[in-house]
A and B are shown apart, each in its own frame.
Chain A
Amino acid sequence: MMNSIVAVILNFTNSVWVIFKRELNDYFSTPIAYVFIIIFLILSGIFTFYLGDFFSRGQADLKPFFTYHPWLYLFLIPALSMRLWAEERKTGTIEFLLTLPITTTEAVIGKFLAAWFFTAIALFLTFPLWITVNYLGSPDNGVIVAGYLGSLLMAGAFLSIGSCFSAITKNQVVAFVLSLVVCLVFILSGFPMVLDLFSGWMPELLLKTISSFSFLTHFKAISQGVIDLRDIIFFASLIVFWLFININLVALRKAD
């Protein structure tokens, strides 16, 4: 009994790992990865230094950097995730992949982890900003670490949504638009402007529930260095939820 459980875990790990490596290599074998990373870095720079008033604020922290991450991810992550499953279905490689001795779960998780790790690489490459702010002042680096980790977790949530919608269609543009809209709903549900619209007439409980689904609300605390377990659970549950739907969608729709 113990042997077979170990065997299952080892098989699972091997399959996920092999798929993860293949996908990650694939990102870097075309110019797309480099283009994506450059755009990510440029945009995050623009947001931080111009929109975020980094210099005139005169504060040694990376708040202006982190504040815009939900908006950065809103556009960039669907662009990354749109090809995850749509392309496999379009080119027919999905038939090759899913007739190998692996489970759908292993395939979905392997691809997701590769995309997430790639996002982590892009995020990591913003480290010059961190060095800059340490050179200019004495920021609380613990807050910054929390910000990076929280941002990565939120990126995972965005990705899980994007990956899921990529499995619905063969058309990457449709996948992009659907993912973007759904991610927007998750962001906007916490937007003060949107909440104000409802606050006059909606019951307090409903209002609280809507804003409790907001990426903005949950990320705000993290970006200020506060690691609340509830926020972590929020993003982690979302990832699990959308991955679960993803697995079922791939299994159901693979041959259409």
Chain B
Amino acid sequence: MEETLVEVRHLTKKFDQFTAVNNVSFSVKRGEILGFLGPNGAGKSTTMKMITGFLTPTDGQALVEGIDVSEDSVEAKRCFGYLPEGAPAYPDMTPDSFLRFVAKIRGYKAHQIDERVYNAVARINLSSVLHQPIETLSKGFKRRVGLAQAVLHDPDVLILDEPTDGLDPNQKHEVRQLIREMSKTKAIILSTHILEEVDALCTRAMIISAGKLVADGTPAELSPLDDVFRRLTTHNQALS
């Protein structure tokens, strides 16, 4: 089961004179959990936004399940679940109405919607807050709502931008467990600042600094991670 589910080829993003992402290439196979590491402003989120079709690359391609995200955007978007940074959601909706909305947009009908929402809620543990407006939820629950909408349609690919940010230690543990479970049948890309999360969770880690890929290997190969991280990213930041 080693098919490549995500492929990124020479992805570049320039905003006027500023190069946010510089010729990044990598691929992710089913069963892999890829950890995206980097200092703030390094280009992690920008890369994810290009893979998910939110941003158009200046150069290069991103393919999900073989579909070019820029060319066949809607089809590609059916293949992944995305948790954007900050887990944005409509504040006046409840988790229930929000997840139903996502289910309907993804084309589910009637009893399928009930089933999908029920499964997502059970999996992510949202039943206690199901009918509360999202704006009243704690940061941790808001993030869980974002996760629930990303896994609702059981996609083969998950792209998670800082999925455990703002969660308490127990919630972090729960989310990591969940990611670990799902990775058996999926390809998962997650970005994080937390180095120990990479060690705990990821099968592979990539370090991005100033838009460039500066390291790619297993957590074991990149150990000790904080030293490697500091060395590679401070150096690059000094140059840029």
Q: A-side interface residues toward B, CB under 8 Å?
A: 11, 14-15, 18-19, 22, 25-26, 29-30, 91-93, 95-96, 98-103, 254-255
Cα–Cα, bound, A63→B49 (Å)? 53
CB contacts under 8 Å to A, within B40-73, are 49, 52-55, 73
Known: A100-B105, A102-B77, A255-B54. 16 other contacts (CB 8 A): A14-B107, A18-B101, A18-B105, A22-B90, A25-B97, A92-B84, A95-B49, A96-B84, A96-B149, A98-B53, A99-B52, A99-B53, A99-B54, A101-B74, A101-B105, A255-B49
**Residue from A14, A91, A96, A103 having most chain B Cβ neighbours under 10 A:** A96
Q: Are A22 and B101 in contact (CB under 8 A)?
A: yes
Contact status B90-A100, CB under 8 Å: no
Q: How far is the CA of A96 from the CA of B89 in the complex (A)?
A: 7
**Docked pose: A29 CA to B98 CA in angstroms:** 13
* Nearest residue, chain B, Cβ from A10: B107
- Contact indicator per residue, chain B 94-113, by CB within 8 Å of chain A (1) or not (0): 00010001101111000000
Bound Cα distance from A19 to B49, whole angstroms: 22
Please tell me if B217 contacts chain A, counting CB pairs below 8 Å: no
Q: List 29 A-B contacts (CB under 8 A).
A: A18-B104, A22-B90, A22-B93, A26-B90, A29-B93, A91-B88, A92-B84, A93-B89, A95-B54, A95-B84, A95-B88, A96-B82, A96-B89, A96-B146, A98-B53, A99-B52, A99-B82, A100-B77, A100-B102, A101-B74, A101-B78, A101-B105, A101-B106, A101-B107, A102-B74, A102-B77, A102-B105, A254-B54, A255-B49
Report which B residues bind A (CB closer than 8 A).
49, 52-55, 73-75, 77-78, 82, 84-86, 88-93, 97, 101-102, 104-107, 146, 149
CA A18 to CA B102, docked complex, whole Å:
9
B91 touches which one: A25, A91, A96 (CB < 8 A)? A91
Q: How far is the CA of A11 from the CA of B146 in the complex (A)?
A: 24
Within the complex, the shortest CB–CB distance from B90 to chain A, in Å, comes to: 6
Chain B residues near A92: list those with CB within 8 A.
Answer: 84-86, 88
| Chain B residues closer than 8 Å to A18, beta-carbon distance | 101, 104-105
Task: Collect the chain A residues with CB atoms within 8 Å of residue B92's CB.
Answer: 26, 29-30
Residue of A nearest to B15 (CB): A256
Q: Which residue of A lies closest to B13 (CB)?
A: A255
Contact check, B90 vs A101: say whether CB atoms are below 8 A apart. Answer: no
Q: How far is the CB of A178 from chain B (nearest CB, A)?
A: 23
